[in-house]
A and B are shown apart, each in its own frame.
Chain A
Amino acid sequence: MSLRVTVRGAGIIGLSVAEELLRRGHLVRVVDPVPAQGASFAAAGMLSPAAEVWHGEDDVLRLGLASLALWPDFARRLGVRLADTGTLVVGADAGDLQQVGRQVDLLARHGVQVEEWSRRQVVEREPSLDRVVGGVWVPGEGSVDPRQVCAALLERVRVEPEEPADWRADVTVIATGAVLPEPHRHLVRGVRGEILRVRTDDPPSRTVRGWVFGEAVYLVPRRRGSAGLAEVVVGATSEEHDDRPVVTAGGVLRLLAAARVLWPALDRAELLETTARDRPGTLDGLPLIGPTDRPGEWLAAGHYRHGVLLAPLTARLIAEAVDHPYSAVDPAVDPRRFTPREPGGTHALHAQR
């Protein structure tokens, strides 16, 4: 049965949801006055569920691995390049390498295969990283350029600045990222991230996630053909704040200082862009995907650091739920997990007022 669906928000999540619904034959209107300009515009596009996971994030890993498996077909369909050279996790000193080791132990517990590389092996395979003391390689992971993905989606999905007055939707999917309309506003807060883009002739060949004297930093290379130059994305800061997301000098300084320790060639790179956007953070770091307590109103939001990775999975979950309205919702992402149950009953994650 074909339904009429409004998707509010044309970031990578809203666009992916709309594209999947259109493929399944639904009538879809996407509404956003400034498409693809939120967190998707800043995102580095890492598809690295394992290299990014931390203790207590089992559900993030599970969802991320499920979505990673969907990415090759999704990228092929959209005609975007997917780099699949894996993720290299490195440390700048012995303390950082201990931190890498803790992550390896965690991944082993989840049955994720990684290769431990000595300093010499790292430098043989990634000569531009000659300051690191060692690391691990997580095969099977990769990256995409989120701006390219959004552009490809925008070719397939028409976006309107506002909802047409004569349009009556059966289902509305709210995919407005960090700023949700009432009564959902309290479910997501903005967590500022600053990120840099540089151009270089000496990029690493894989995504690099590094610990540098206790600070986390990552490098995501993108081959750009012309004259052998590549773009490298350097990210990202993370800050709880209430203000407009602006790039701070201190944020840029911290990123450059940490990245340069791992990758000395950064010195000669051309600084192309500094960007700040709010990540849509939820209380438990997991997204909100599925129905709310309001009939016909659904959420696909709050993806925090994982929006690009989780886009195809989110599209599939929403589309499946639209096609099969009485199917069960994964409790880990069910937006109603934050709704207080009955009076007196406390919900551990119930937001305070």
Chain B
Amino acid sequence: MSAPADPLVIAGQTLPSRLFLGTGGLPQVSLVAPVLAAAEPALVTVSMRRASGSGVGGLLEQVRGAGVRVLPNTAGCLSVREAVLTAELGREALETDWVKLEVIGDEMSLWPDAVGLVEAAEQLVRRGFTVLPYSTDDPVIARRLVDAGCAAVMPLGSPIGSGLGVLNPHAIESVCAAVDVPVVLDAGVGTASDAALAMELGCDAVLAATAVTRAESPATMARALRLAVEAGRLAHRAGRIPRRAVARASSPMTGRIEAS
């Protein structure tokens, strides 16, 4: 029996899956097509610095050739002003109002600047953008971002590129409970179980980039993540059993056949 239809909807748009992908760090552009085929992503994030414009035979052309939705991001922006300008650049170059908003507060940890993020989100929403902000795993900040008009929130599991997974599961659960927009776990995914855990905690989608691009076989990891996201989502919906301190026999004791 197949699960009932369970699409991810952001800003009124139905997305084809619950895995977001960043492909910028792939060692060869020719890997883009097999990775996308294996991941079946809802969309691919594109850094406006890496993929400026049309670059013949480049990354963007490959993603578009595969018919996958492109989400420009403001990766590496260190100020509100820089992020807003980069978002405008992305809107013009990629002809989409959607933007994954990053405002980085510290270059070493690439930690989001929560205050700058709220301010940038307010400005971009006023300018007509659909904003998906990369944020800390803080339910209060998540609510502020929704108040600012964000269409989703994207809390980090752990620092970008660290592969440390979901370091504070309770915080991610709290974010999911705090907001009524989709929650996309962003950053920190290192392998399939990290993605599955995020989905079990209640996230609506997972974004992975380095986990795929720097894997020894990127297409294999892409498929593993797709399956993990689907498994985690199903487990979340299935209603897990309570955790108990003592054993409880898996078969009932009554009605058993007596060996006389």
Interface residues of A (CB under 8 A from B): 54-57, 102, 106, 185-190, 213-214, 239-243, 281-285, 348-349, 351-353
Given contacts A56-B217, A352-B62, A352-B64, whether A189 and B57 have CB atoms under 8 Å apart is yes
Q: How far is the CA of A281 from the CA of B58 in the complex (A)?
A: 9
- What are 30 contact pairs spanning A and B, CB under 8 A? A54-B27, A55-B216, A55-B217, A56-B27, A56-B28, A56-B31, A56-B216, A56-B217, A185-B56, A189-B55, A189-B56, A213-B108, A214-B161, A239-B50, A240-B50, A240-B51, A240-B52, A240-B55, A241-B53, A242-B52, A242-B53, A243-B52, A281-B57, A283-B29, A285-B30, A349-B30, A351-B56, A351-B57, A352-B64, A353-B65
Q: Which of A242, A284, A352 contacts B65 (CB 8 A)?
A: A352
User: A56 contacts which chain B residues (CB < 8 A)?
Assistant: 27-28, 31, 216-218
Across the interface, name the chain B residue whose C-beta is closest to A239: B50
Q: Chain B's nearest CB lies how many Å from the CB of A236?
A: 15
Q: Chain A's nearest CB lies how many Å from the CB of B124?
A: 23
Q: Chain A's nearest CB lies how many Å from the CB of B6?
A: 32
Q: How far is the CA of A214 from the CA of B30 in the complex (A)?
A: 23
Q: Which of A54, A102, A187, A213 contacts B57 (CB 8 A)?
A: A187
Question: 20 more A-B contacts (CB under 8 A) besides A56-B216, A213-B108, A351-B57?
Answer: A55-B27, A56-B28, A56-B217, A57-B27, A185-B56, A186-B57, A189-B56, A189-B58, A190-B55, A214-B161, A240-B52, A240-B58, A241-B53, A242-B52, A283-B28, A283-B57, A285-B28, A351-B56, A353-B61, A353-B65
Across the interface, name the chain B residue whose C-beta is closest to A282: B57
Given contacts A56-B31, A349-B30, A352-B65, whether A241 and B52 have CB atoms under 8 Å apart is yes
Across the interface, name the chain A residue whose C-beta is closest to B65: A352
Give the number of residue pairs across the A-B interface with Cβ within 8 Å: 70
User: A351 contacts which chain B residues (CB < 8 A)?
Assistant: 56-57, 61
User: B62 contacts which chain A residues (CB < 8 A)?
Assistant: 283, 352
Interface residues of B (CB under 8 A from A): 27-31, 33-34, 49-59, 61-62, 64-65, 108, 161, 216-218
User: B28 contacts which chain A residues (CB < 8 A)?
Assistant: 56-57, 283-285
Secondary structure of the B contact surface, majority rule: loop
Across the interface, name the chain B residue whose C-beta is closest to A54: B27
Across the interface, name the chain A residue whose C-beta is closest to B217: A55
User: A188 contacts which chain B residues (CB < 8 A)?
Assistant: 57
Residue among B29, B31, B59, B64 with the highest chain A CB neighbour number at 10 A? B29
Q: How far is the CA of A281 from the CA of B54 in the complex (A)?
A: 15
Q: How far is the CA of A231 from the CA of B27 in the complex (A)?
A: 30
Q: Which of A106, A240, A353 contacts B59 (CB 8 A)?
A: A240
Across the interface, name the chain B residue whose C-beta is closest to A187: B57
